[in-house]
Amino acid sequence: MTKTVAVDTNVLLDYRLKRNPGFNKIRPLLEDCLDGRIRIFIPSIVFPELEWVLRSFYKQPKELIVKFLESLVALEGVSTENKSAIQNALSIFSQSNLTFTDSIILTQIENFKPDEFLTFDENLKKIYQK
């Protein structure tokens, strides 16, 4: 059975920003994941946390953030609670003016298929009604 290592937001920030000492620990872990020696579990809440920190604190552009998050979730050895929902939310986020958290909300609502969706967010309402 393959070992699984769960990682949090700060570990992935260290990797993205090449901050030490964390970068030196996560890089070999990701290499082991790519080689199939281990699996990495990223809780789904980590993705919006990463987006928020990279955007608000590190002022990284949306395109680079999306590319980074897409590359993480696309790795074969990486798992999260619902990979396809995160991928769909990233797609919506990259193609709209919604925030990433609103993109996640929209994805979850579309998957649940409620009879009605009540929101006061006009952007979210417009995209949901399409």
Contact 121, 102 (CB under 8 A): yes
Number of domains comprising the chain: 1
Q: What are 6's two structure tokens?
A: 């769960």
Q: What are the pLDDT digits (tens) for 28-48?
A: 999 999 999 999 999 999 999
Question: If residue 13 lies in a helix (H) or strand (E), which one and from where to where?
Answer: helix 9-17
- Categorize the per-residue pLDDT at 130 as very low, low, confident or very high, splitting at 50, 70 and 90: low
Cβ partners under 8 Å of residue 94, min gap 6: 62, 63, 66
Look at residue 67 in the predicted model and tell me its pLDDT. Answer: 98
- Categorize the per-residue pLDDT at 105 as very low, low, confident or very high, splitting at 50, 70 and 90: very high
Q: How far apart are the first and last CA of the chain?
A: 45
- Tell me the CATH number at 93: 3.40.50
Look at residue 61 in the predicted model and tell me its pLDDT. Answer: 98
Q: What is the domain extent for residue 10?
A: 3-127
